[in-house]
Amino acid sequence: MEGKEVRFGPDTSGLFATVTTGTSTGAVDSMHDSFLPVGGLVPLFNMELGEITPGGVGAGLYGILVFAIIAVFIAGLMVGRTPEFLGKKIEAYEMKMAMLVVLSLAFSILFFSAVATATAAGKAGPLNGGPHGFSEILYAYSSQTGNNGSAFAGLTGNTLFYNLTGSFAMLLGRYAMIVPILAIAGSMAAKRRVAESLGTFPTTGPIWVGLLIGVIVIVGALTFFPALALGPIVDQLINNAGRLF
């Protein structure tokens, strides 16, 4: 029970961790570092998707809207019309801005984690070795980029290196996303509304939900899949084999 919320037990600790990272809350009632690796994977994954999992609460709303725009664009063509979302055409400008958001998220998390794993100052941070230590680094930048506020624990973050890189991650994670999203909002607001008909791409119902999840998983999650494989996934697999870090 080390690191768990002892009053409510491991179940609610897990639930709390999921909710706090799925939304952009960031409060913690337990040490995520103490979870099984697969338990640490969930909050990591939640933040790397842009804190959108419960449908986009708080700042997560714009995250899921960007994914919705990308989903409409990729699959929307399959109904034989140029893509539209909420009655507005999705064109080159919106696509550029949406990709900028996806790129900023990926860049901030992956680039700073890469710098940390490649420098002595960065390598000094993690408490644990091996893949678990890597998860600690990855979590730090995922949380800071997502402006989540939760900490994995285990990483000695109060060093010049982590404070500096972390603050850049926070800046990028907030403004490199909000600015293009506002640009999309402005561009879409100025557009003529397209009338709805039977030929309009449906953005409600189970098919749309399935499609949106598919795009989030493929575009959002696959970006981080290699990193996650080297962190919590292999960590868990090695744990299963009876080795700990």
Partner 1 sequence: MALAVIDTARGSRRIAREARQAQAGHAPGPRNRGIFDPKLLRGALGPAVRKLDPRQMMRNPVMFVVEVTAALVTLIFVSDLVGLTSGAAREVGRAPAFEFQIALWLWFTVYFATYAEALAEARGKAQAATLRKTRSETPAHRRCEDGTFEDVGSSALRAGDVVVVRDGETIPGDGDVIEGVAYVNEAVITGESAPVLKEPGTDIRSSVTGGTTLTSDTLTISITANPGETFLDRMIALVEGAKRQRTPNEIALSILLSGLTIVFLLATATLRPFGLYAGAPLGIVVLVALLVCLIPTTIGGLLSAIGIAGMDRVARFNVLAMSGRAVEAAGDVDVILLDKTGTITFGNRLASRIVALPGVTEREALEAALLTSLEDETPEGRSVVELARKRLAEIASDGPGTKAATPAAVTTPAEAKVATVVPFSAESRTSGVILADGTVVLKGAVDAIVAALDVKAPPELQTLSDEISSLGATPLAIRRNGRPLGVIELKDTVKPGLKERFDELRRMGIRTVMVTGDNPLTARTIAQEAGVDDFMAQAKPEDKIARIRAEQADGHLVAMTGDGTNDAPAVAQADVGLAMNSGTSACKEAANMVDLDSDPTKLIEVIAIGKQLLITRGAITTFSIANDVAKYFAILPAMFVVAYPELNSLNVMGLARPESAILSAVIFNALIIIALVPLSLRGVAYRAAPAAELLRRNLLIYGVGGIIAPFLGIKAIDLLITAVHLA
Tokens of 103: 């790129």
- Enumerate residues 6+ apart whose C-beta is below 8 A from 82: 76, 89, 90, 91
C-alpha 106/C-alpha 50 separation (Å) is: 10
Q: Which of 114, 176, 178, 183 binds partner 1 (CB under 8 A)?
A: 114
Which residues in the 22-81 window bind partner 1 by CB under 8 A? 70, 73-81
3-state secondary structure of 66: helix
Q: Least separation, in Å, of the C-beta of 193 and partner 1?
A: 5
Which residues in the 170-189 window bind partner 1 by CB under 8 A? none
Instruction: Report residue 52: phi and psi, to 5°.
Output: -115, -5
Residue 55 Cα to chain centre, angstroms: 13
C-alpha 192/C-alpha 241 separation (Å) is: 59
Contact 116, 136 (CB under 8 A): no
207 vs 244, which CB is nearer to partner 1?
Answer: 207
57 vs 114, which CB is nearer to partner 1?
Answer: 114
Q: Which of 130, 171, 176, 183 binds partner 1 (CB under 8 A)?
A: 130
Using the contact rule CB under 8 A, the part of the chain among 19-27, 160-168, 181-189, 220-228 near partner 1 is 220-228
**What are the residues binding partner 1 (CB under 8 A)?**
70, 73-83, 87, 90-92, 94-96, 98-100, 102-103, 106-107, 110-111, 113-115, 117-118, 123, 130-131, 134, 192-195, 197-202, 205, 207, 210-211, 214, 218-219, 222-227, 229-230, 233-234, 237-238, 240-241
